[in-house]
Structure formats: C-alpha cells, structure tokens
Amino acid sequence: MGRMGQMRSKIKKGGNGRSHKGGVVCLFLFIGVMLAEIFIFNFSAWKSLFYKERFVFDKIEIEGGTQIAEGAREYEVEEGILVLRVAGVDEEIHNLLFALDFPGEEGVPYTVMLTDEGNAYPYSLPEGMLMPGIEKSYYTNIYPAGKVGDITVQFQVPAKSVVAVDGICGNARIPFLFSAGRAVLLLGAAALLYGAFRGSLGEAKNQCTGTRGQLLTTAAAALLLTAMAWKLAHINPICVTSPWPHHKQYQELAEAMAKGQVSLDFEPSEGLLQAPNPYDTIYLQANGIDYRADYAYFEGKYYVYFGIVPELLLYLPCYLLTGHHLPNYIAVFIFYSGFILAVFALLWEMIKRWFPKTPFVFYIMLSILTVCSGNYLFVIARPDLYDTPIMAANMFTAAGLWLWIRGKYAISSKGRSICYFLGSLSMALVAGCRPQMLLFSFLAIPLFWEEVIRKRELFGGKNKGDTACICIPYLLVAAGIMYYNNARFGSPFDFGAAYSLTSNDMTKRGFNLHQACLGLWHYFFRPPVVESDFPYLKGVQIASGSYMGKLNAEYTYGGLLVGNAFLWILFWMGKGKKILKAKGVYVFACAGIAVSVALSVVDVTGAGILQRYMVDMIWGVWLAATLLCLALAEKAGEKGTQRGLMICLVLVCFLQMFYGFGIVLGNGDLSVNVRTSNPGLYYYVKELMSF
C-alpha cells in the first residue's frame, strides 16, 4: 500500500473513530436526560414512596359548608369559603393530598395553616391552587418543624358552590409524571451544548453557502417559528376574544371607511362636548362624564389615531371582502410572521455581503434569537390593538433594510432599482404604522454613504433612476398620510396621538430632561427582578421616585441591555470595531444604537414608560449587536477560537430562553396574563417546573 493509501486509511479510521465517539456521547446524553426526567423532575414522587406511614384523616371538621343530606359527601358553600380542620395530628407529615371535587373548571385557591413542634400558634403557608384536570396540583409538599399538631385548610370557591369532600390524606404517594415535551426540550438543550463544546458546528465547511440542505433547514426553522407564534398568539385567550370596547377601533374604522368617512360613527356625550378640557380624563371620571377611552377626540368627533397602514392592508379588505372583521390577534400574528421572514432574509443578506465566512449555525441561531427576543415574545403573547401597528412597523423596517442592502449589491441595474423602490416603500410605510419608528430610515445615511459621498451614484447626476426609486416611495406614502392627517385634524403633520383620551392629557406633554433620563434608565438599564417562585421573572410597576411630576408608567421586565443577554455583547464593541470598520458597517451599527436611544426619548416624552414601547427601540440595538457578533465570529474563526464564541452564544440562548419564558408567563399586567386568562396552562407548566 502506497503512502497515499495509508493516509486515506488513517483518515478513514480517524473519521470512524470520531463518529463512534460522537455516537457514544449522544447515547450518554440521551441516558442522562432520561435519568433527569425520571428521577430529578419526579423527585417528590420517588421521595413519597419511602414515607413510613400514610394517614387518611377521618375526623375532619368542616366549616362554611352545609351538608346537603345526612351522610352525603356534598357540601353547599354559602359564603364561598370552605374550611377543613384536622386537630391533634401529632405525626410527621411530609405532604398533603386534598381529596375534593369542585364544580366547574376554574382553579380553587387554598391556604394551609399548621401548628407543629416548633410553633404552638398556627402559621400560614403560601397560597396554592387546585386545578381540575391537573392531578399533581391536588398534592403539596409541606416542611413543618417536627410533628404536625393541627392542620387547617381554607378553600376559596364561588358562593353557593357544591363541593364533594372525601377527606385529606397525609404522606400520600405523589403520582409519577413523565413529560415527553420536557424530555425533548432537555435533549435539544443537551445536543446544542454538546455541539458547541465539540466545536463542529462552527467549522469552515459549515459556512453559509446556500446549499439545498441549508435552504431546507432555514425554511423549516422559519416554519417552526411561525407555528410557535400561532400557539403564543392563543396563549392568552382574552386577547383572542378581545372583550374591551376600545380594542375594536380598527374594526370600527373599517366600517367608517367603507362609508367613505375617516371619523367614527359615535356621537360624543354632551358632557364631553362641554368639558373645559376633554383630555383630562380624571376630571371626566370624577364628574361622571361619558367618554370613549383611548380613542382620539378632536372637535366633537372620534377618530382612530393608530397607524392607517394595518387598516388598509388587513382590516378594511377583510371587511369589504367578507363582511366580517379581522381579529386583532390575527393581524399581530400576520405581521409577526412577516417579521420572521424579513429577519431571516436580512441576516442572510448581511452575512452574504459582509461576513461570508460565518458558519451556517450562527446564522440560524442569530435569526432565532432575534425573533424570539423577550420583547417580541411579549407582543405575540399579548396580541392586542396596541401591538398591531408596533409589530407592523418592525416587519416593514426589517424588510426595508433587507431590500436596501440587496439593492446596494445587486449586479443588474434593474434588480437594484426594484430593490431600492421596494425597500424605500417598506421603510416609508412605517410612518403609517408607528410614525416614530420612521427614524430607522436615517440608517440609509451610513448604509449608502459610499454611493452618495464617494461614488456620487445616488442623489447626484450619475444615477437619477436609482435616486428616484429611493425617493419616490417616500413621497407617495407621505402624500397619502398627509392627506389622511389633514382630513382628520386639519394639519398634514398631525397624526392625532396627542388627542387620545387616555390616562393623562397628551396635549400638554413636552420634553423634560429628568423624565428623559428616567426613560433611558428603565428602557435600557433597569435590572429585571428575578424570583425563586414560578414564573421566576417579575414585572415591576414603575414608580415616579424623585420625579416631581406626573409620570405615565406601567410595569416592565427590565431594561433592554440588561434583560436581553444577547445585547451584552455591545459592551465589547471595541473588540469588533476594527472589523466592522473594514466592512464599512461600523457607523451603520452605531447609528442603529443612536436611533434606539432617540426613540426611547421620543416615547417617554410623547407617551411614557411601557413594556410594549421597548419593541419600538429594540431593533436598532439588536441590529448593532448582530453585526458585532458576526464580526467577532469572523475574528474568532481567524484565531481558531470559534468554539469559545459558540459556547457563549449557546449560553446566551439559554438565558434568552429563560427571559422569554418569564415574560410570556409573567404576571406584571393584572388584566392580561396567562395565570388569569389561561390558568390551566399556567399551572400545568408550573407543575412541570416543580420537582
């Protein structure tokens, strides 16, 4: 055998060795995940097998309920409070099982009070929830100080409910639960970690080349994300039914526009017409004056101040073609799905033009991270009226940047002109969705700097066609929006947001440095509040603090730069500055950050500090972080340290997953949250997270 043959033999054996080793590792990962699912997540079930004695408490005192018949197990709870009391237990009790049947499918809150060897007086344990259909919710572990003396359990049920009481058990056997979904998630996480530590995911042979396999993988990822979005759009059923009257504005505008008018068919009350300041809603409420909350009111008529573009694209056509109204959650889902496609297209274009050595797995992970940012998940999990124009603006912004970049590097003049025209049209339409996000159009300055300043190909005499393709869409959209504004408010530049009958007088708002600094803090730097209790992330109501003025603020889940682990990479901007400058995108990235900061000031000045407003400004900082990550990946590839960056990116994925999980299931908003609108799902997931 020749030397070449020997080398081929060694390579073949080495490859088989690596394959064999990889197979063994995968087997161990599978076994490890199964062991975790069987033993760790079912720790309480295994532990309960070894309790020496089990107790069924026969002598139970029942208060608050009247026995329906002699010897019957059913009790009518007149006042809605049912109390079960077991006295003189004098045993070691590790868990309790409540053998009760409640009417309906609603959850039943309960509170356990105990006395034990260390506490002669009863003390309360945290409130629990019994959910019909979730067997494990009827069991609860307790940790008393020594033997238990008395047990008192108070249940809150609707008044006049009939409850079947079988009893209370102690040291019961907790049921074993194997969750296939949880096991699959653990397997996926383990495989991702293994791939990162092994380093094979970032090898040069796996670069973005547009192979059939890569295209299929990209399509599958986008499809799965769209399916996830559809599920999340239904996670809060109250957003599907949308019972709030003021959330029907786009639907009501469709009816009005079908009649050829821009004002709504609602006559204001006489009190509102005569009010000295109709925008002081506290005054209106105090004097019993009827008004339509969150509508724009101007000179005796009601209007919709939300962007007109979603109306013209979705709501009005749906009404005209079918006679039925499009629900808001469907509109948000459509725009979010469009955003997914736009992000995948934009990142592919950025990699193709500026970072061609990027591994394909980086592209997929960055695309998924972008659309699954906790702030975007907040919107799709609460798809209501307010989120419709915000999500539409994000979709058009991402699509516009993609088309601009594609046009910038197009080979044919025809293709370049088409991309420029469609890109500008997309960016211009942002003004008809979320006007303040039109600031992202200024990213054209650093993006086309070379074409405008150095080559003089745009906005000069050399290429009037491309210049027209960039400018004309803005002129057309501006003309339409200005006409619409003038028809409503008598000014082409008045979008009407200041006339909203909301929690504060928007016509009197103005710039205030103290308020602007508060906005920057809460929008970017406020740390999220993490708790040990499910769902672990707490939405915190913003207080005015030292601001001696009226601050319109709700709850947030932490600032963008602190809550989103992926954005931490921006603190290492200096590490990638040289590469970004060499690619000609350093100023482009910095401009994205600057626009995000400017948007935060605009939002806090014009409206206040709200969690959903972060979706206005996250795009700029996220775009900058993505460019920096791609630059650092290229640098790491040259130095052979790509494995370390890959490991960091995987860890960031886990942190982002935790943050997104907390935001989706968070309870900051008292009116829209999974716990109140979809308690079955909420407590099912809670039980899955318990050990």
For the chain of 691 residues, list the mean pLDDT of each consecutive stretch of 10: 44 49 76 90 92 88 89 89 94 94 90 96 94 92 95 94 92 92 86 71 66 91 96 95 93 96 92 91 91 92 95 97 96 98 97 92 93 94 95 97 94 90 97 96 92 74 81 96 94 91 80 85 92 89 73 86 95 92 94 96 88 94 96 86 85 93 87 89 90 82
| Contact status, residue 142 vs residue 111, Cβ threshold 8 Å | no
The answer to whether residue 304 sits within a structural domain is yes
**Could you tell me if 524 and 657 lie in one domain?**
yes
Q: Are residues 673 and 609 in the same domain?
A: yes
Provide the domain count of the chain. Answer: 4
Q: Could you write out the DSSP letters of every residue in 449-487? A: HIIIIIS--SSSSS-HHHHHHHHHHHHHHHHHHHHHHHH
CA contacts within 13 A on the Cβ side of 103? 12
207 beta partners: 359
Distance CA 576, CA 82 (A): 64
Distance CA 260, CA 482 (A): 17
Q: Is residue 47 part of a domain?
A: no
Pair 482, 443 in one domain: yes
CA distances, 628 to each of 107, 303, 324, 667 (Å): 48, 43, 46, 34
**Are 446 and 314 part of one and the same domain?**
no
User: If residue 615 lies in a helix (H) or strand (E), which one and from where to where?
Assistant: helix 614-639
Residue 462 tokens read as: 């050399």
- Residue 31: how many CB atoms within 10 A of its CB? 10
So what's the pLDDT on residue 637? 82
* Residue 284 structural domain: 248-321
Q: Helix 642-665 to helix 180-198 angle, to the nearest 10 degrees?
A: 160
In a domain, 565, yes or no: yes
Tally Cβ neighbours within 10 Å of residue 374. 28
Q: Where are the alpha helices (DSSP H) in 355-386?
A: 360-371, 374-381
| Predicted local distance difference test score (pLDDT) of residue 484 | 95
48 falls within a domain: no
Same domain, 73 and 123: yes
Do residues 252 and 335 both lie within one domain?
no
Contact 102, 108 (CB under 8 A): yes
Query: 430: closest CA among 510, 313, 520, 509?
Result: 313
The CATH number of whichever domain residue 59 belongs to comes to: 2.60.120.260
Strands 119-124 and 161-170: unpaired
Task: Give the per-residue pLDDT at 3.
Answer: 44
What is 631-674 written as a DSSP string?
Answer: HHHHHHHHHT-HHHHHHHHHHHHHHHHHHHHHHHH---SSSS-H
Residue 288 falls in which region: left (phi positive, over 0), alpha (psi -120 to 50) or beta:
left
CA atoms within 13 A on the CB side of 443: 33
Q: Is 545 exposed, middle or buried (0-12, 13-18, 19+ CB in 10 A)?
A: exposed
Co-location of 671 and 611 in the same domain: yes
Would the pTM of this model clear 0.85, i.e. be above it?
A: yes
Say how far apart CA 581 and CA 122 lie, in whole Å. Answer: 68
In a domain, 49, yes or no: no
Q: Measuring CA to CA, which residue among 354, 356, 346, 353 is closest to residue 204?
A: 356
Beta strand pairing call for 301-303 and 128-130:
unpaired
User: What is the pLDDT at residue 16?
Assistant: 53
Rg, the chain, Cα only: 30
Three-class secondary structure assignment of 295-327: CEEECCEEECCCCHHHHHHHHHHHHHHHCCCCC
Q: CA–CA separation, 85 vs 181, rounded Å?
A: 39
Give the type of residue at 451: E
Neighbours of 304 (CB within 10 A): 24
pLDDT at 10: 42
Residue the block writes with tokens 């200096």 = 574
Residue 670 lies in a domain: yes
462 assigned to some structural domain: yes
155 three-state secondary structure: strand
Contact between residue 336 and residue 373 where contact means Cβ atoms under 8 Å apart? no
The confidence score (pLDDT) of residue 202 equals 52
Q: What is the DSSP string of 561-599?
A: HHH-GGGGGGGGHHHHHHHHHHHT-HHHHHHHHHHHHHH
In terms of domains, do 373 and 412 share one? Answer: yes
Query: Do the domain assignments include residue 657?
Result: yes
Same domain (yes/no): 105, 132? yes
pLDDT value at residue 208: 82
Q: How far is CA 419 from the centre of its chain?
A: 31
Q: Are residue 335 and residue 463 in the same domain, yes or no? A: yes
- Residue 446: asked if its preceding bond is cis (omega within 30°), the reply is no
Question: Are 524 and 565 part of one and the same domain?
Answer: yes
pLDDT for residue 19: 56
Query: If we measure between CA atoms, which residue out of 95, 1, 82 comes closest to residue 55?
Result: 95
Residues 370 and 466 in one domain: yes
- Quick one: which of 669, 668, 280, 292 has its CA closest to 503? 280
Q: How far apart are CA 518 and CA 610, in angstroms?
A: 12
DSSP 31-90: HHHHHIIIIITTHHHHHHTT-S--EEE---EEESEEESSTT-SEEEESSSEEEEEE----
Report the pLDDT value the prediction gives residue 20, as an integer from 0 to 100.
Answer: 61
pLDDT at 461: 61
Residue carrying the six token digits 């009350």: 269
